[in-house]
Structure 1
Amino acid sequence: MGMVSACAYSGAYPTGYGRYMKNTEGVPEVMFDRLQASGFTHFQQSGTGAIRKYYNYVRVTPMVQPLDDLGQAWPLYDEMAEAGYYAATLDTGVRCEITVGAKVAVHRYTFPEHSSARVVVDLSCGGLAIELGRTVPLRAQAESMGHGRAQGTVVMEGVPLSVYLEVDSPGWRQMLWYDRRLIHGGTRLDFDSIRHTTLRPFGMMFMGPAVAGQTIEVRLGFSLRGCEQARQNLERECGHAQPAFDRVHAQTRARWGAHLDRVQVEGGTPARRTVFATALYHALIKPCFADDESPYWPTSGPYAFDVCTMWDIYKTQLPLLTAIVPDRAVELLESLIRVCEEEGNFPIGYRMARGADRFFRQASALAHTVLADAHTLGLPGLDWNWALVHMVDDLRRLYGEDFFEHGVVHPISHTLDLAYAHHCTAQVARALNDRRLADDLEARSRHWANAFDPRTGLLLDSDFYEGGKWNYSFRLLHDMAARIKLAGGDEAFIDKLDRFFGFGAAPVTQPGRRPSPAEMAAGYALNRFEGLNNEPDMEAPWAYHYAGRPDRTAQVVNAALTWQFGTGPGGLPGNDDSGGLSSWYVWASLGLFPVVGQSMFLVNAPAFARSALRVGANEFVIETSGHREAPIGVDGIDRDPPTQYVQSATLNGRPCTPPT
């Protein structure tokens, strides 16, 4: 959850590293026939979809070619990757290694013998090399300071990103360049305004002879508050003793180890343990925390970005962060409250860019659920009276105004969002002894029923974001008894769920490359469970619990854990969405599902014989009896693990009973 990431850059989807074009339907089309890189960039999304914002700023390229060849991509060989470290060899013979700290990146390049090796820093780089994928700086400045030091600022998407860099290259020359031409004797470049059509690349270069095996270290400190703070960040994390690569790598590796150690599992197959550890790693990459770095307010304190988006993470990832890194969860909420103060509303998604109202089509008022959870847990550090002010005000914004006046809004899924947010806000208001406000909010929270058609037991016809009325109809509401009654009772509700999950139905043919509109329309018309990658479907398997069929939950979840996740390429059933999907895997493997905003977990059979979460100074242990391991095939992969069912459960020795 640090501020800085670094990655090999090809310009392809999904993060700038890869081989594919961006697409939303069918099998992705190949953009490159090989793994390749034109350099190494900073700031990437993590498993997000087509949001047209992928950063990839400040590209660093080690070269033995002339500057004219900048932008050319070379094949990658001998890749290695682990938490906080990446290495590969370019086809040019340069061995490349990268590590990061919270606000810094350190590159180490080992060159072959060459009379004119160089390290080129491109400050104009941004986005992806696909249609509508580029990000161009609006303003920029770069300065060569001599003695292997340089700095610069680029304004991207309304945010000033500053970098201060040091290059250990004794005897090498350094200079600025513009439009792939060196500026001899120049020490500063200034661009007051840049348009897409007039952009010419620019940056810094360090050049000189290299003997075989010579290493060049590039250290970059970043800040959203100017070059001087970027320099301080670099000094703080890299220190004065150089080189710094191994030291920063060790620090980052230790931080990752301490975080990944907060959830331990025992038993299970090697493949399942590998997927579990990888899922936990993915769950802890985002959001990015850039403490004391907000470009919008001058005070110190937490600032978080890459909340991409609440719609993706509020049901699964944020409860996981609340459990194992509660300090960061509180800081995220504090940052969201500050964003609300500055920009007028709680964001659904928040990137390193201005505009908290982006992604508003996805959902409404999702921050309220996480705030209600944090308040129920008694997490310290938030001014709850001030938080309540913003929670109440936010309920009237955007679609909330129509909800207040009419009790129903379209897209109809926003009616469910707003009703649930009213319920969550009512809990906080009641705890703060504002009974009149709580009663008013609770009354409006019952408007969820206005979203449903009592004749079908499903949502009313409407527009839906990445789904349909079947996907959204099985949401875990705050009054599931009334919801099931509206659907016609337990049996009718179960029948609809069975149809949604395809029990007894023929297998569905998956779309291939470039599916036709008719083929996709026929697939959507099935009104079937689309997989865990579809956010409205993440919680749907647990709806069976409320109608007395947790065995169905067990069957669906066990099948998903077994067949939708794996250890190789394609091991995720779609976009990871900043860790939301991987967090689902973590919870499901533990045999739990958090019902966010209701201070409740639903229990299912765990995938491991024993699990333990370190929660603050305490430990939450999940132990099973009668657990059966899955058989392993000759390839080491699980083979048809048996569906197992919870017969009874106790908490601290006392039987668990369902809430009334």
Structure 2
Amino acid sequence: MTLEKEYKTILLAFTVLFIAVGISAAAQDKVAYSDYVNPLVGTDSEFSFSTGNTYPAIAVPHGLNFWTPVTNPDQLNGWCYNYDDHKLCGFKQTHQPSPWINDYARFAIMPVVGDLAVRTEERASWFSHKAETARPYYYSAYLADHDVTAELTPTHRAAQFRFTFPKSDKSYVLLDAFPQGSYVKIMPEKRTIIGFCRNNNGGVPDNFHNYFIAVFDKDFEDVATWSDWNVNKGSKEEKGNHVGAVVQFKTEKGEQVNVKIASSFISHEQAKLNMQREVGSDDFDTTREKAKAIWERDLGRIEVKGGTQAQYENFYTAFYRTLLFPRDFTEINVDGEQVHYSPYNGKILPGPMCTDNGFWDTFRAAFPLNALMFPSVNAEFMQGLANTYKESGWLPEWASPGHRACMIGSNSASIIADSYLKGIRGYDIETLYEGLLKNSENAGPLHSVGRLGVEHYNKLGYVPCDVGVNENVARTLEYSYDDYTIWKLAQELDRPQEEIDRFAERAQYYRNVFDKSTNFMRGKNKDGTWSTPFVPEKWGGDFTEGCAWHYTWSVFQDPQGLIDLMGGKQEFVDKLDAVFTTPPKYDCSYYGFPIHEIVEMIVMDMGQYAHGNQPIQHMVYLYNYAGQPWKAQKWVREVMNKLYLPTPDGLCGDEDNGQTSAWYVFSALGFYPVCPGSGEYVLGAPLFKEATLHLENGNTFTIRAPENSKDNLYIRSARLNGSDYTKTYFRHADILKGGVAEFKMTDKPYKNWGTDPQDAPYSMSREK
């Protein structure tokens, strides 16, 4: 089922869907899943210190548009909402996946009362979190300076606003189309504003526009426009660098003004069509209930019981974050066909498109979670990637909405191979595989596209540190893992044996940057000598936003091979232990200052463990490969308890496109995809007494741990579908069949379960 078909189903039968979710009243006290979600989690962040780097995204899953309140008067700043701010200056349509990548196609709406003020800092109003409600499907805040209660609720490509005004002859609604090229036109006879905005941060064609339409339910008393903050009273049309529109009302105390807003990257006509399809004649409350029903449907796919209130809030907030991205960039034309504006070549083309994702982050857990719980949606995203390749000549690695120069690797290989190897179909795998082959032999037009340093990697078996390619060790390790996934996919596609063998060989290239004298991954010169001096705590340089303590574990495809390189299981475990016991000292000379990822590591009192950034997030699960699964159980629970809280400062670093949240969702269920492409999930220990996965194929997979508690975090024994189970992993295929996994839990490490070599998860070195 396509995203559009799913959405239309909701629009036609949302009441039935809402009931069908089946909330467990006994376990969840009749609280809706979406009401456990706190969109404000992670919003107490700044450039130098992140507790999530999030904003409250009021949206439906994978929506073309999100909306968010804005507290930062700097309109082009990526940190638009900070929990500690005291004033709101607007409600913004946003497409931002990360403050570091920033936003595009944004415009804002704001109600004001009294003397007209259009500048962000002048129109801003004091507000309090005590008079603020934030849910995925609804936001409201009381704007004290204007005595206005502002409410919003979303659809996929539109939204509704409801402003409750005081008695005033000077009640206004402002529409700010933002700098970098914008246009507004007021049509009083239609109670309508149309326009466009063009703001972006690169990676788009010259004809990039976001076309919007806003329709009010009350006649305008007067109108105005502005250009670069200069107000033109009575004007109905304005075009320039930064323009906006003002409509004025006379309101009685408690009078509500409703605004329906939709947008399109194709045209004003398409924006109007999007509004008609998704909002139509619905009132505000109906749209809100439909949005809530969508969230109930999707969040209800995983049902957890036997936890605390905070654990429910953590879990469903994390699940919400994983469902926001990638963004569905597809629209439905007048003939009911999927079409999209190409952010690569500027054409209107058939079929789906997805964007706003950085695969360096999300290949690890966010995409595997999507593949497990929403395979049909995953298939549509895969076709979107195929369309990206057709339209740009490259697979995306960081798109927002077009190719962006951010991060490293060619991890599109991981998400494509993992999807296909899990049996997901319905997309052009031949085109995708062609793109993977091109990546494996070419550097792209941006350093984040294709493979920078590929000529050295393919010739020498690693990217040297003295050839002008930075982050060389990280690139080597990620390319090697990506080649593993291509190897597996090539086998599945029955490609020529020479091709299969080539990628099998490259999947072992990680060995070329491992220094046995230090038991670390390390930079190597072109002549084969090690780079000196070597400081394991040095961030950057040879590594990406981390150091040797973090990237040494980036051998997802072959932990057994890494164990062998380190000298055996005990040496491997000792090195894992040392991550937590080594003081969190650091060398930031590559950056010139301690970047926020460093700060987030040192304040957590977990040694060199840097969970706030992605490279090390799988590391706690590696104890299973060395026969000491109880240590994985301990540290997984420690990370969940210590580094995830349902508060504005509750996260421990960047929440990038759902990856850090997906780690929590998987870990709370009791398993994690250490190596996407292997078809396995490595066990930690479940957080809840029971969790049920409602799979798309109609089956259910239930994890039960009735003795689970704060102290009982260790596995004593396990059963799968009634049979004793000692493996420290689940197979994807077994989960899809449905069934029940049962765990006996204890309060002390139990060292007789899951310790046999045959119980260890997949490693390429063990493959026969």
Q: Fold match, TM over 0.5?
A: yes
**SS of equivalent residue, structure 2 residue 209:** strand
Alpha carbons of structure 1 residues 383 and 518: separation in structure 2 relative to 1, 3 Å: closer
Cα distance in structure 1, aligned partners of 2:649 and 2:599 = 24
Shift of 1:612: 1.0
Deviation at 1:219, TM superposition (A): 1.2
CA offsets, 1:285-328, max 9 Å, x none?
Answer: 22211213333342222221221x21221111111111111122
Given that 1:316 and 1:580 are in contact with CA atoms closer than 8 Å, whether structure 2 keeps it comes out as yes
Q: Does 1:40 find its partner at 2:84? A: no
2:171 corresponding residue in structure 1: 117
Residue 286 (structure 1) aligns with: 325
CA distance in 1, matches of 2:554, 2:134: 38
| Structure 1 counterpart of 2:257, one-letter code | I
Q: Does 2:416 match 1:371? A: yes
The structural deviation recorded for 1:103 is 0.2
Q: Report whether the alignment pairs 1:542 with 2:621.
A: yes
Helix, strand or coil at the partner of 1:68: coil
In the alignment, structure 1 residue 531 sits paired with structure 2 residue 613: no
Change (3 A) 1:246 1:297: same
Residue 253 (str. 1) matches residue 292 (str. 2)? yes
SS of alignment partner, residue 544 of structure 1 = helix
Answer whether contact 2:610 2:616 (CA < 8 A) is retained.
Answer: yes
d(CA) in 2 for partners of 1:419 and 1:521?
30
Whole-angstrom CA distance in 2 between matches of 1:174 and 1:518: 47
1:16 correspondence with 2:80: yes
Partner of 2:565: 486
User: Unpaired segments of 5 or more residues in structure 2?
Assistant: 1-61, 331-338, 444-451, 466-471, 524-540, 728-758
Partner of 2:137: 84
Report the Cα offset of residue 271 of structure 1.
1.9
Within 5 A, what are the aligned runs for 1:552-631?
A: 552-594=631-673, 595-625=675-705, 627-630=707-710
Query: Which whole-Å CA distance do the structure 2 matches of 1:253 and 1:452 have between them?
Result: 50
* Partner of residue 354, structure 2: 304
2:305 maps to 266
2:107 maps to which of 58, 80, 86: 58
- CA shift digits 1:345-390 (9 cap, x unpaired): 22221113x3x2421xx22110111111111111121222222111
Measure the CA separation in 2 of the matches of 1:248 and 1:593: 36
Deviation at 1:442?
1.3
The 3 A distance-change label for structure 1 pair 534 and 225 is same
Q: 1:458 to 1:527 in 2, by over 3 A?
A: farther
Match of 2:489 among 428, 451, 455: 428
How far apart are residue 14 of structure 1 and its match? 6.3
Letter in 1 for 2:424: L
Deviation at 1:18, TM superposition (A): 1.4
Distance 1:546 1:123, change over 3 A: same
Segments of 5+ residues of structure 1 without an aligned counterpart are 20-32, 125-135, 195-200, 631-640
Aligned length: 602
TM-score by length of 2: 0.74
Shift of 1:548: 1.2
Structure 1 stretch 292-301 or stretch 447-456: which is displaced more?
292-301
Identity %: 23
Aligned with 1:500 (options 579, 599, 610): 579
Any idea what the Cα deviations from partners look like across 1:571-606, whole Å, max 9, x if unmatched? 212222121111111111111011212111111221
Corresponding residue of 2:504:
442
Q: Does 1:644 align with 2:686?
A: no
1:93/1:68 CA distance change after superposition, 3 Å: closer
- Looking at structure 2, the residues matched to 454 and 270 of structure 1 have their Cα atoms a distance apart, in angstroms, of 47
Instruction: Tell me, in whole angstroms, the C-alpha distance in 1 between the residues paired with 2:380 and 2:595.
Output: 47
Partner Cα distance (1:337, 1:432) in 2? 17
Cα distance, 1:642 vs structure 2: 3.8
Task: Tell me the equivalent position of 2:750.
Answer: none
* Structure-2 separation of matches of 1:392 and 1:205: 53
The 8 Å contact of residues 609 and 627 in structure 1, kept in 2 or not, is answered as yes
Aligned counterpart, 1:634: none
RMSD between aligned residues? 2.8
Equivalent of residue 379 in structure 2, options 303, 325, 330: 330
Aligned mates of 2:653, 2:473 — CA distance in 1 = 25
Q: Does 1:314 align with 2:394?
A: no
Alignment of 1:328-407 (within 5 A): 328-352=377-401, 354=402, 356-359=403-406, 362-398=407-443, 399=452, 400-407=454-461
Q: Secondary structure of 1:395's match? A: helix
CA distance in structure 2 between the aligned counterparts of 1:70 and 1:223, rounded to whole angstroms:
26
Code of the residue aligned with 1:565 in structure 2: it is Y
Assess, with a 3 A threshold, how the Cα gap between structure 1 residues 552 and 304 changes in structure 2: closer, same or farther: same
Normalized against structure 1, the TM-score is what? 0.85
8 Å Cα contact 2:107/2:197 also seen in 1: no
Alpha carbons 1:471, 1:527 under 8 Å: kept = no
Three-state SS of the structure 1 residue aligned to 2:475 is helix
Contact 2:600 2:612 in 1 (8 A): no
1:425 Cα deviation (Å)?
A: 1.0
Kept in 2: contact 1:312–1:577 (CA 8 A): yes
Tell me: CA distance 1:393–1:549, structure 2 relative to 1, closer, same or farther (3 Å): same
Question: Given that residues 695 and 701 in structure 2 are in contact (C-alpha distance below 8 angstroms), is that contact kept between their aligned partners in structure 1?
Answer: no
Task: Give the C-alpha shift of residue 540 in structure 1.
Answer: 0.6
State which drifts further: 362-371 or 641-650: 641-650
Q: Spell out the pairing of 1:168-207 with structure 2 (5 A cutoff).
A: 168-183=217-232, 186-191=235-240, 194=241, 201-207=242-248
Provide the C-alpha distance between the structure 2 equivalents of 1:255 and 1:486, rounded to a whole number of angstroms. Answer: 49
* Post-superposition offset of 1:570: 1.6
Alignment partner of 1:142: what SS?
strand
Report the AA paired with residue 6 of structure 1.
W
Distance change >3 Å, CA 557–CA 521, structure 1 → 2:
closer
SS at match of 1:618: coil
SS at match of 2:210: strand
Is contact 2:584-2:601 (8 Å) kept?
no
**2:167 alignment partner AA:** E
Q: For 1:98-109, list aligned pairs within 5 A.
A: 98-109=152-163
One-letter amino acid of the structure 1 residue matched with residue 552 of structure 2: S
The one-letter code matched in structure 2 to 1:320 is L
1:592–1:601 CA contact under 8 A, matched in 2: yes
State the 1:339 CA deviation.
1.8
Residues 1:56 and 1:99: Cα distance change in structure 2 (over 3 Å): farther
Amino acid aligned to 1:325: F
2:250 paired with 1:209: yes
Q: Deviations over 1:105-134 (max 9, x none)?
A: 21110100111111010102xxxxxxxxxx
CA, structure 1 residues 451+357, in 2 after alignment: closer, same or farther (shift >3 Å)?
farther
Q: Which amino acid aligns with 2:185?
A: E
- Name the CA shift for 1:343/1:522 in 2 (closer, same or farther; >3 Å): closer
Q: Does 1:141 align with 2:183?
A: yes
* Counterparts of 1:609 and 1:386, CA distance in 2: 44
Give, as a single letter, the amino acid of the residue that structure 1 aligns with 2:510.
Answer: W
Counterpart for residue 458 of structure 1: 520
**Counterpart AA for 1:647:** S
| Partner in structure 1 of residue 335 of structure 2 | none
Deviations 1:197-243 (A, max 9, x none): xxxx411111121111111111111111111111110111111x26x
* Secondary structure of 1:501's aligned partner: helix
Mapped to 1, the partners of 2:99 and 2:272 lie a distance apart of 34
